[in-house]
Structure 1
Amino acid sequence: MIVNGMPGSGKSTIGAALAEVLGCPFLSKDRVKEPLADIVGPMIDSRPLGGIAMDTVWAMAGAVENGVVVDAVWLRARDRSFLEAGLASAGSPRAVEVWCHVDVETARERLADRYDPGSPVRHEVHGDLTDVLAFWDEHGADAGPTGLLPVVTVDTTKPYDVGALVQEIADHFA
């Protein structure tokens, strides 16, 4: 399954919770990209490094027999073909997209907290708060599910029940 949404939408929180309940690996683009950035430093820009990280994520997904939870941002117009190729390379005949819906103001608050100087330091490969907010400004109006897979939408501004979410996802595989 893939967990998709804009920055600050709660993808990693939901993805990690789903992986824990399902007993499968949580493959987060950021968790792969950050150590790669530590290895190469500024020699590879963030965007191409993100592509390398996703190639690694898909290779790992293909090596796991019982399913995975993959977390990243996939924009419909920009990334749909990359998602399609990734799913194919992982050998995933069936998948579900969990779309993490959040309004821009809530996302901005979460991101401001994430980049707050008193918070744990955010890896430099992600840029600064201004960069992430600019991404929202550029892509926020077009944000939504990719249209490639069945979709389960989670409003991450409200409490959610992971068990009910798992059941809703499972219904797509019945």
Structure 2
Amino acid sequence: MKKATLIIVNGLPGSGKTTLARRLAADLSLPVFSRDGIYETLYDALDCRSNGEPLLLGKTSFVMLYYVTGSLLAAGRPLIVEGFFGRPELRSAEFLKLQAAYGFEPLQIVCRAEGEVLLQRILARAGSSERHGGHHDLEYLASNKERLLQGDLAPLALGGQLIEINTTTPDSFDYTDLLQRACAAL
């Protein structure tokens, strides 16, 4: 039996990874799970607006992401996971544990955009009523603005196929080619 494919969409905040992951999921008929989606669900379920945010909420959202991912991989099902895996040494180790347990084939897509564009996107969504209240975009910027402007994000060390795309504009990369490559990996 062929190993399941795990498509990992990684990128700095504001790089378009959520939009891309959702589009790929729709076009490939695959489930997609995001670290932010799990974080937001837990934030709301725990009524963090009223009760305050638990110290380990961020870590818990990653644990839940890996749990769901492992459950689908154990059933031999391909899927897409999306997130800012900004500590590549730690996140690589976590994915490698899943790979050892379930033997998936990784396809990693790293979204990159010019630093000024990332900054503009984060500032725009930080002021948007559509942005979930659990995100601390301005606090992130206060500590990480230089990293963001440099576009500093190393891919996860997982082996397998790595595709780096420029998401600065909608036309900065060839989506049809990316979709074909993802189909071939499946």
Normalised to the residue count of structure 2, the TM-score between the two structures is 0.77
Pair 134,92 (structure 1): closer, same or farther in 2 beyond 3 Å: farther
Match status 1:107 vs 2:113: no
The answer to which of 66-75 and 49-58 deviates more is 49-58
Match status 1:137 vs 2:149: no
RMSD of the alignment, in Å? 2.5
1:88-99 aligned within 5 A: 88-89=100-101, 91-99=102-110
Cα distance per residue 1:3-55 (max 9 Å; x no partner): 00010011001101111100111111111111111223223444323333323
How far, CA to CA, are the matches of 1:147 and 1:101 in structure 2?
Answer: 17
1:23-102 aligned within 5 A: 23-40=29-46, 41=48, 42-62=53-73, 65-75=76-86, 76-89=88-101, 91-102=102-113
Match status 1:8 vs 2:14: yes
The answer to which of 34-43 and 14-23 deviates more is 34-43
- Quick check: which has more Rg, 1 or 2? 2
Deviation, 1:120, is: 2.6
Deviation, 1:69, is: 1.0
In the alignment, which of 147, 155, 158 is matched to residue 157 of structure 2?
147
Select the structure that is richer in strand.
Answer: 2
Pair 114,63 (structure 1): closer, same or farther in 2 beyond 3 Å: farther
Residues 33 and 50, structure 1, Cα contact 8 Å, conserved in 2: yes
| Structure 1 SS opposite 2:105 | coil
Task: For structure 2, list consecutive stretches of 5 or more residues without a partner in the other structure.
Answer: 1-6
Cα distance per residue 1:32-91 (max 9 Å; x no partner): 1111112232234443233333234324533664411110112323422122224445x2
Amino acid at match of 2:23: A
Pair 152,84 (structure 1): closer, same or farther in 2 beyond 3 Å: same
Give the percent of matched residue pairs that are identical in Structure 1 and Structure 2: 24
How far, CA to CA, are the matches of 2:67 and 2:142 in structure 1?
Answer: 27
Amino acid at match of 1:113: A
1:13-24 aligned within 5 A: 13-24=19-30
Q: Alignment length, in residue pairs?
A: 170
How far, CA to CA, are the matches of 1:59 and 1:131 in structure 2?
Answer: 29
Task: For structure 1, list consecutive stretches of 5 or more residues without a partner in the other structure.
Answer: none
Which residue of the partner structure matches residue 4 of structure 2?
A: none
After TM superposition, where is structure 1 displaced by more than 3 Å over at least 4 residues in a row?
A: 63-66, 86-89, 135-142
Residues 92 and 158, structure 2, Cα contact 8 Å, conserved in 1: yes
